[in-house]
Structure formats: C-alpha cells, structure tokens
Amino acid sequence: SLFLAQIALNPLASPHLRKMKTDVVSMCSGLLGGDKQVVGSMTSGGTESLFLAVKTYRDQARKERPQITAPEMVLPTTAHPALLKSAHYLGVKPVLVPPVPVFRADVAAMAQAITPQTLFLVGSAPAYPHGVIDPIEALSDLALSRGLPLHVDACVGGFLLPFVRKLGFAVPPFDFAVPGVTSMSADLHKYGFAAKGASTVMYRTSELRRHQFYV
Ligand SMILES: *Cc1c(COP(=O)(O)O)cnc(C)c1O
C-alpha cells in the first residue's frame, strides 16, 4: 500500500521499486520451479506479460535466426486471446491448433503445424476458459526435439497450482522444472491477490530476456 501510487517505470529514479520488483520475480520463480538463472519482469497484467514474451521470441529470431522472414507461433485455440492481440501488433502469424478432447493441446497436431518460420510454441497451465492444463511435458519434449522455445502461460495458474500441489492434489509438471519450458507468465493480480495491474513474465536465462528490452 505504501508504494501503490509510485511510478515503477524508471528503475534509476526508483531504485527501491526496482529492488522490490526483483524480489517479487525471484519469489515467483521460486514458486514455479525456477533456479538462480531464471530472470523476469513485473508487468501491468497478463496481457503485457504475453506481449513481452512474443516480442522476446520475435526479436531473438531477428538476431539468431535471420532465415525467419514471416514469423509464426504455434498455439492451441484454447490459449488466451492476448497472445493473438500481441501477434497482431508484433507482426507474428498465429498458427492455431484445435485441441483434443477435452480442451487439451493436441501435441501431435502442433508438431505438424511447425514450419521453418516457427518462433516458439505455447501451452497453458491452465487455459482460462476451461481450466484444463495442457500436456506441458509432451510440449517440452516437442520443443526440445525441434530446437524451439516454449512459453507456458500460467497467468491464472501460476499462483494456484503450486498451492494445489502443496495441498496434496496431483498436479502434472507445468513449470520451469520441465526442461523445455523457456518462459512463463503468472498474474499477481489473480491468485497472487495483488491489486491490479500486476503480473510477471519470467525467462530461463538472462540471455533470452535481453531480447525483451527496447532502448
Ligand atoms: C487472465 C489471463 C491472461 C490475461 O491477463 P490480464 O491480466 O487479464 O491481462 C492471459 N492468460 C491467461 C491464462 C489468463 O488467465
């Protein structure tokens, strides 16, 4: 409450807020299977977290995979529309793959949808409309076998699943503990119970996050 009205935009003007944001990201990453290498940013909401992830993979490809001239991303139709909005703004073509029953990402069909222009894959933990967790381990195997990054959208699940697991319910692996997961989004202003708007986007390495920044 003390800092709610302060502007966190400029880390040089507000080093105390920078420190606070770094602490928040580190706590989130700790809840989500991250190690010391995982870094991230606080954002204004899940929409901005997803926007930044799409931007990161687009700009990573611009640097490291110049053969990509018409970038695409492969995602289940159950993924959040903010990904489509981001793709629209950022000039990325969304390749939408219908789910298998019941509303679970179709990993085989997603494999078919990969082209040489594919930037990255998306899975949700869970997807917002149906509360179904995509098979993140299978998506991770696919991503690793094709040398592609994998974003797990845990906007609604990021601060729910770790505690559901703690209560003793079976939760399939969905976070940075899964080796092919390269980035995650998790909304503090949902089950983190923070005031709006507050979310996090996290990356497995700082090398990857570098592509998020714009100067
Ligand atoms: C809520 C949600 C978003 C979008 O987050 P906002 O904070 O509403 O911008 C994205 N993905 C999932 C899975 C969500 O539940």
**pLDDT digit string, tens, across residues 85-119:** 999 999 999 999 999 999 999 999 999 999 999 99
Q: Which atom of ligand 1 is nearest to the CA of 196?
A: 7
User: How high is the pLDDT of residue 7?
Assistant: 79
Q: Alpha helix (H) ranges present in 43-196?
A: 46-64, 81-90, 107-113, 136-146, 161-166
CA of 66 to the centre of ligand 1 (A): 31
If one residue of 124, 187, 199, 201 were mutated to test the ligand 1 pocket, choosing by the most ligand atoms within 8 A of its CB, it would be 187
Which of 80, 122, 196, 201 maximizes ligand 1 atoms within 8 Å of its Cβ, making it the mutation to test the pocket?
A: 80
How far is the centre of ligand 1, averaged over its atoms, from the C-alpha of 67 (Å)?
A: 32
* 123-129 mean pLDDT: 97
Given a cut of 90, whether residue 5 has pLDDT beyond it is no
How many A from CA of 73 to the centre of ligand 1?
A: 18
Cβ(49) to ligand 1 under 6 A?
no
| Cα(13)–Cα(213) distance, integer angstroms | 18
* Closest atom of ligand 1 relative to the 48 alpha carbon: 9
Contacts (Cβ under 8 Å, ≥6 apart) of 202: 25, 28, 29, 32, 34, 38, 39, 40, 176, 183, 184, 185, 186
Per-residue pLDDT at 198 exceeds 90: yes
